[in-house]
Structure 1
Amino acid sequence: MSFTDQAWEIFEKSISDYHIKDDVDTPVDNPYKAESLERLLYAKNWIDTVQWHLEDIIRDENIDPTEALKIKRRIDSSNQQRTDLVEFIDSWFLNKYKDIAPNNDAKINSETPAWAVDRLSILALKVYHMSLEAHRESASMEHRQKCTEKLNVLLEQKKDLSEAINQLIFDIENGKVKMKVYKQMKMYNDETLNPVLYQNVKNG
């Protein structure tokens, strides 16, 4: 089984497990062993799945503004957790391939393995929800047909992205691509870098 086939199975399990209760406050019950890549992938997709539904909730036109602000703060926190976990997955890959000496002509890919996996995780959610719409009996035939067409495009994207990720990992393993990771250094959550936050600290 390829790496992306394994990752997709884990993403599908995470999405399925979430939808047993379909509640953003459901605690994660990660079934994979500690420190394994499988556990990291499951945790990554669980964050994405919860955030997907938080994004749905906050778009309710009748939502109470106070509740909307709480959810917005929660989404901000979720984004930070997502970034931290992606970087942790990249650290896992860095450690796995630490003894591989890149070829003299090795290239640098514009995207690390974990950030490519991040896209695959989101794609699994798109496929799941578009499939629901494509088969929703209460929807019109026209709606289902349009969603089926979109689903087919998403499945083609899955095939292409999976192939690209597997090729990237193969090239890293064989010294054709050297893996280099830059921490994201997000500024909006840092009270020393975000002007609004550090002004609040100063004034407080």
Structure 2
Amino acid sequence: MISPIANTIFQRVINDYHVHDEINHPIKNPYEASTLEHLLYLKCWIDTAQWHMEDVVRNPNIDPNDGLYWKRRIDKQNQVRTDTVEYIDSYYLNKYMHVQPLSDARINTESPAWAIDRLSILALKIYHMEQETLREDVDSQHIDTCQQKLNILLEQRNDLSKSIDELLEDIESGKKYMKVYKQMKMYNDPSLNPVLYSSQK
């Protein structure tokens, strides 16, 4: 089962990041570059840095030039995030390439890696919601509300973890099959974004 491994790695990433709590702090991935664990650590680090970028850019008093800088950083980070998800899917495509799907095999609504992407984001939501329950500068209603939300997030993680493990078991047994579509993002492509290719004329 991959979910216990992924959840453990995601928690490690979040803890590692918050030692310095600095967006530009260099990643120190402890796993071998050729492993799935390496990709999972990288994926969650990307998400964690982007989480904090999103916080910064939402400052209502941010200087417009700084806001534009962070918006462009977030766009680049989104592309790196998408690329990393596709690397994880490539790992599973390679792993299950010799599995012969059953005659009644079905395709899933999303690939394993995009489900794992949601699991990484959930880890961040859980961490930050838990931090809200520990605040001492808010009233009890805030704490109670955040605790209720935290409980739901924890339940959601359990359900998603189970679903990911079941999906991979079904792919391995031929009950489901993988079909991966590249994201084909257009906004960063100078040949596809009208604003970008118009500016080159």
Q: TM class, shorter-chain normalised? A: over 0.9
How far apart are the structure 1 equivalents of 2:25 and 2:130? Answer: 23
Unpaired runs of 5+ residues, structure 2, are none
The DSSP-based 3-state class of the residue aligned with 1:123 is helix
How far apart are the structure 2 equivalents of 1:43 and 1:140? Answer: 37
Partner residue in 1 for 2:173: 174
For residue 134 of structure 1, report the CA deviation from its aligned partner. 1.1
Partner residue in 2 for 1:121: 120
> TM-score, normalization: structure 1?
0.97
Question: Could you list the per-position Cα deviations for residues 95-140 of structure 1 after superposition, in whole angstroms to 9, with x for gaps in the alignment?
Answer: 0111111111100001000000000000000000000001212221
The DSSP-based 3-state class of the residue aligned with 1:186 is coil
For residue 150 of structure 1, report the CA deviation from its aligned partner. 0.2
Partner residue in 1 for 2:63: 64
Is 1:192 the counterpart of 2:191 in the alignment? yes
How far apart are the structure 2 equivalents of 1:9 and 1:195? Answer: 43
Partner residue in 1 for 2:131: 132
Unpaired runs of 5+ residues, structure 1, are none
Letter in 1 for 2:8: E
Partner residue in 2 for 1:27: 26
How many residues are treated as equivalent by the alignment? 201
For residue 190 of structure 1, report the CA deviation from its aligned partner. 0.6
Runs (4 or more) in structure 1 with deviation over 4 Å come to: none
The sequence identity of aligned pairs, in percent, is: 58
How far apart are the structure 1 equivalents of 2:116 and 2:37? Answer: 12
How far apart are the structure 1 equivalents of 2:34 and 2:108? Answer: 26
How far apart are the structure 1 equivalents of 2:109 and 2:60? Answer: 39
Partner residue in 2 for 1:146: 145
